[in-house]
C-alpha cells in the first residue's frame, strides 16, 4: 500500500536555494531597485517560467535509484511519490483517486464537482466531453446547476478509503467549514481549500469570511490552502497553522484566469517566492509548511524545475487527463470553468496517451518527456548531486530562455523529441 500514516522525523531546516538576497517587501525596497521601469515612476519585477530557466549539474552525481523523493506533510501524512492530481472533474473521480493512491501519490477529489452532485457522474462527464465548442459553456453551466449532496461527499470518501489509499478532497472557501466536518467524519486524510486566489484576510459585506485559524483548529487532518503566488500573502497564510499551500494563479492548460483577469505570476518565480516564505516561517519557529506547485507542468523537465525552485510536491492536472484512467478519458476543464458569471477556464482536449503508471513511473514509450515523471525527478536529483528533495531545492539555476531550442534544429524540423509542439 503506497500511502501510510507514520511518525515523521523532525522538520528539515533548510535555507531556500536560489541564492537570493534577504527578502525585502515592497514597502522597504525602493522602486528603482525592485525591477525594470515600465513607465514614469512605475516599476515591474522580472518573473520567470519553466521555459526560461535550467538546472546546473552538481559536482557530484548520485545513483538515481538511491535518492529519496518521498513526501511528508505534518507528522502523519507521507507519500511514496510527491505527486498530487489536481481536483478537476475531467481528471479525478473515485476510480482515478484509487489508481493514483496505489501508485504512491494522491488525487484530490473536487467536492464542488459533478462527482458529488450526481449518483452516476459518468453520463455528465461524457456529455461535457462530447459538447461542441458553440454549446460547451451552456452544457457546463447546466451540468453544475445540480446541487452538491452531502450524502455523496461521504460516500465518495468512503469508496476511496475502502480501497486502502489516501483520500484528499477540495472545497471552495465559502463551503469549507461545513464540508470539512463531513469530510473528517467520512475519513478523509487531507482537506484542501482552493480558490483562484486566496488570502488570509478577505473583506466582504455580503457573505461570511472563512477564518483559516478557526478551520485549522477544527480539523484533525492537515489543511492545505491555495492558490497563492505572493511572499507576504503566503507567510500570513502559513501563520494560520495550515499544513500546505498551493502555488499558482492561471498556469494550467485549461485555465484562462491570466487572460480574463490579467492576474498571475510565472511558476518558477511564484514557487521561489512562496518557498522563501516557508523558510522564513520556519526561521520564526513555525513548522515546515508544504509548498505544492500547482499547474503549468507539461513534461518531466517542468516538474524537476518546480522542485528546484522550492516545491515540496507538485499538483498536476492536464498531463493526468491524458491517462487511460482519467474520468473524461482525455479532456480537462478547470474548477472555475463552469462559473455562471465569469468562466475562468475552458475545456481542452488532451487525448488518451498512456496509462497512469506510465505517466508517473514509466517505462516511457515516447521521447518528449511526457511520461515517467518520477524517473525524471530521480534522474535530475542524481545529476545535480541531491540526496533528497530538500537538497534539490539548493541546486544552482541559470536563466536560459533558449534551453529547449539550442542545438535542436533537427528535432524541431522533424517534430520529434523536444521539437514536438
Q: Are 116 and 152 in contact (CB under 8 A)?
A: yes
384 is catalytic: no
CA separation for the pair 266, 237 (Å, rounded): 20
Furthest CA-CA distance within the chain: 61
Which is nearest to 104 in space by CA: 378, 357, 310, 306?
Answer: 357
3-state secondary structure the chain: CCCEECCCCCCCCCCCCCCCCCCCCCCCCCHHHHCEEEECCEEECCCCCHHHEEECCCCCCCCHHHCECCEEECCCEEECCCEEECCCCCCCCHHHHHHHHHHCCEEEEECCCHHHCCCCCHHHHHHHHHCCCCCHHHHHHHHCCCCCCHHHHHHHHHHHHHCCCCCEEEECHHHHHHHHHHHHHHCCCEEEEECCCCCCCCCCCCCCCCCHHHHHHHCCCCEEEEEECCHHHHHHHHCCCCCEEEECCCCCCCCCHHHHCCCCCCHHHHHHHHHHHHHHHHHCCCCCCEEEEECCCCCHHHHHHHHHCCCCEEEECHHHHCECCCCCCCEEECCCCCCCCCCCCCEEECCCCECHHHHHHCCCCCCCCCCCHHHHHHHHHHHHCCCEHHHHCCCCEEECCCCCCCCCHHHHHHCCHHHCC
Q: Are 210 and 174 in contact (CB under 8 A)?
A: yes
- How big is the CA angle at 80 (ends 352 and 159), to the nearest 5 degrees? 65
CA separation for the pair 267, 293 (Å, rounded): 8
- CA distances 205 to 172, 202, 208, 212, 339, Å, are 18, 10, 8, 18, 21
Among candidate residues 219, 255, 304, 384, the one labeled active-site is 255
Catalytic positions are 255
Amino acid at each position: 500500500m503506497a500511502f501510510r500514516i507514520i511518525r515523521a522525523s523532525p522538520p528539515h531546516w533548510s535555507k531556500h536555494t536560489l541564492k537570493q538576497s534577504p527578502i525585502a517587501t515592497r514597502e522597504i525596497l525602493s522602486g528603482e531597485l525592485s525591477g525594470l521601469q515600465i513607465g514614469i515612476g512605475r516599476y515591474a519585477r522580472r518573473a520567470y517560467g519553466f521555459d526560461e530557466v535550467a538546472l546546473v549539474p552538481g559536482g557530484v552525481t548520485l545513483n538515481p535509484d538511491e535518492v529519496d523523493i518521498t513526501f511528508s506533510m505534518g507528522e502523519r501524512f507521507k507519500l511514496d511519490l510527491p505527486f498530487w492530481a489536481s481536483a478537476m472533474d475531467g481528471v479525478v473521480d473515485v476510480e482515478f483517486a484509487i489508481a493514483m493512491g496505489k501508485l504512491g501519490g494522491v488525487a484530490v477529489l473536487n467536492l464542488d464537482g459533478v462527482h458529488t452532485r450526481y449518483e452516476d457522474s459518468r453520463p455528465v462527464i461524457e456529455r461535457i466531453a462530447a459538447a461542441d465548442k458553440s454549446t460547451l459553456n451552456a452544457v457546463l453551466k447546466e451540468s453544475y446547476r445540480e446541487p452538491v449532496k452531502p450524502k455523496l461527499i461521504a460516500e465518495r470518501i468512503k469508496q476511496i478509503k475502502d480501497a486502502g489509499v489516501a483520500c484528499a478532497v477540495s472545497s471552495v472557501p465559502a463551503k469549507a467549514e461545513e464540508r470539512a466536518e463531513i469530510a473528517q467524519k467520512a475519513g478523509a486524510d487531507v482537506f484542501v481549500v482552493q480558490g483562484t486566489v486566496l488570502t488570509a484576510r478577505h473583506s466582504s459585506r455580503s457573505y461570511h469570511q472563512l477564518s483559516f485559524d478557526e478551520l485549522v483548529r477544527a480539523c484533525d487532518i492537515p489543511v492545505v490552502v491555495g492558490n497563492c503566488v505572493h511572499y507576504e500573502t503566503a507567510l500570513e497564510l502559513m501563520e494560520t497553522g495550515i499544513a500546505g499551500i498551493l502555488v499558482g494563479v492561471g498556469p494550467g492548460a485549461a485555465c484562462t484566469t491570466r487572460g480574463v483577469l490579467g492576474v498571475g505570476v510565472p511558476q518558477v518565480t511564484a514557487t521561489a517566492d512562496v518557498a522563501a516564505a516557508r523558510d522564513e516561517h520556519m526561521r520564526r519557529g513555525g513548522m515546515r509548511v508544504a509548498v505544492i506547485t500547482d499547474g503549468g507542468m507539461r513534461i518531466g523537465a517542468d516538474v524537476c524545475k518546480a522542485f528546484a525552485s522550492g516545491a515540496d510536491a507538485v499538483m498536476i492536472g492536464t498531463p493526468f487527463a491524458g491517462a487511460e484512467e482519467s474520468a473524461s478519458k482525455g479532456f480537462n476543464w478547470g474548477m472555475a470553468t463552469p462559473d455562471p458569471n465569469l468562466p475562468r477556464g475552458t475545456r481542452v482536449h488532451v487525448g488518451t496517451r498512456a496509462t497512469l503508471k506510465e505517466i508517473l513511473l514509466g517505462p516511457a514509450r515516447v521521447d518528449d518527456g511526457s511520461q515517467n515523471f518520477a524517473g525524471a525527478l530521480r534522474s535530475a536529483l542524481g545529476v545535480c548531486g541531491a540526496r533528497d528533495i530538500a537538497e534539490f531545492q539548493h541546486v544552482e539555476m541559470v536563466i536560459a530562455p533558449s534551453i529547449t531550442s539550442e542545438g535542436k534544429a533537427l528535432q524541431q524540423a522533424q517534430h520529434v523529441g523536444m521539437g514536438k509542439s
